[in-house]
Structure 1
Amino acid sequence: MKGFNRQNQLFSLCGLNCGLCPMFLNKYCPGCGGGEGNQSCKIAKCSLEHGSVEYCFQCSEYPCEKYDHIDDYDSFITHRRRRADLDKARQYGIGAYNAEQMEKAEILDLLLSNYNDGRKKTLFCVAVNLLDLEELQEVLRQIENRSNLETLTLKEKSAFAAGLLRAAAAKNNIDWKLRKKK
């Protein structure tokens, strides 16, 4: 959107964790305010109208009607926790929130570099986006503690990591399926 620029390309104005999104990582999406040619965004336009707040939670009108049902349906899985992530960033401060997201991005990079058999990128991105940092760290410990890990093929390592992530999601009642509007 013309005139809209953001410093933090990892966490958006509306609460998307862009740095954990496969679209962003594949360079299909520059993130909001990541350059000219972005699609028009009603929330970015609203930000400009309200003094260019960096995050919606900084606006005196937050949460406004734009957030009434923002997490009810997903057009993409990273949309799932926008409101909760904005509230977390507001509660702990953007610095602490960004530090946690950087740790999650490092975990994602590790998973993609060492356990992606070419078919798990989206699964790993979704898992890192939706699971708490502590759960992700526990999954990494379980991976590292597997005694025969170095003897496994990449496909077997990938399946093992994916299984641990799915189990962590199930334990926390996290459903990875898109919730489509009916």
Structure 2
Amino acid sequence: MKGFSRKNLLFSLCGLNCGLCTMRLGGHCGGCGNGNQSCKIARCSLEHGGMEYCCECPQYPCEKYEKIGEYDSFITARRQKADMEKLRDIGAERYNAEQGEKVQLLEYLLSSCNDGRRKTLFCLAVNLLELSDVQSVVDQLMASDLPTVKERAVYAASLFQKAADEKGFSLKLNRKK
């Protein structure tokens, strides 16, 4: 969108964790302000002085957030509001540091445990779980000493599913039917 740019390419204006997105990791998206798609939230930001995050707006959460989190597209939208609140509570610098750690863990998972069928699962799990949960899974994987990528992939998937079950959520995208 013309005139719209972002400093933080890990966390979007609207609360998506771009650093953990399959589209961005695959080189198909440059993030907010670096693509050619129009976005009603980016347009709104420009109209309100170019805020870095929607949660900085005195009108947040507005009507644009009424249905956010009900359905996912290529990345989970379930945590948008919660992540915005977390960013507001702990500050952008601390939030971004945590996201940076999650990105590193995701990179490890994709380079060491992805059998070609787990990218979306790993992105969802790292996005939805707390950093400590993701770190625990990676620690268990590293300690397992499994010899093949396929074995590590199956084990990682089972560990993430167990963690998600304990938290009470699914590691599948909520698609609109």
The TM-score with structure 1 as length reference comes to 0.92
- Whole-angstrom distance in 2 between the partners of 1:38 and 1:82: 22
Which whole-Å deviations, capped at 9, do the CAs of 1:22-66 have from their partners, x for residues lacking one?
1001111111112xx521000000000000000001111111111
- Whole-angstrom distance in 1 between the partners of 2:68 and 2:6: 21
Gaps of 5+ in 2: none
- Tell which deviates more after alignment, 131-140 or 74-83: 74-83
Q: Is the 8 A contact 1:32 1:38 kept in 2?
A: no
Q: Which residue of 1 aligns with 2:100?
A: 102
Aligned length: 177
Gaps of 5+ in 1: none
- 1:8-23 correspondence to structure 2 within 5 Å: 8-23=8-23
Look up the equivalent residue of 1:81 and give its one-letter code: R
The TM-score with structure 2 as length reference comes to 0.95
Given candidates 19, 43, 46, the residue that maps to 2:44 is: 46
Given candidates 166, 169, 176, the residue that maps to 1:174 is: 169
Given candidates 156, 161, 165, the residue that maps to 1:161 is: 156
1:141 Cα offset (Å): 2.0
1:153 Cα offset (Å): 1.6
Q: Is the 8 A contact 2:73 2:173 kept in 1?
A: yes
Runs of 4+ in 1 over 4 A off after TM superposition: none
Q: Is the 8 A contact 2:73 2:175 kept in 1?
A: yes
- Whole-angstrom distance in 2 between the partners of 1:74 and 1:128: 15
1:72 Cα offset (Å): 1.6
Q: Which residue of 1 aligns with 2:56?
A: 58
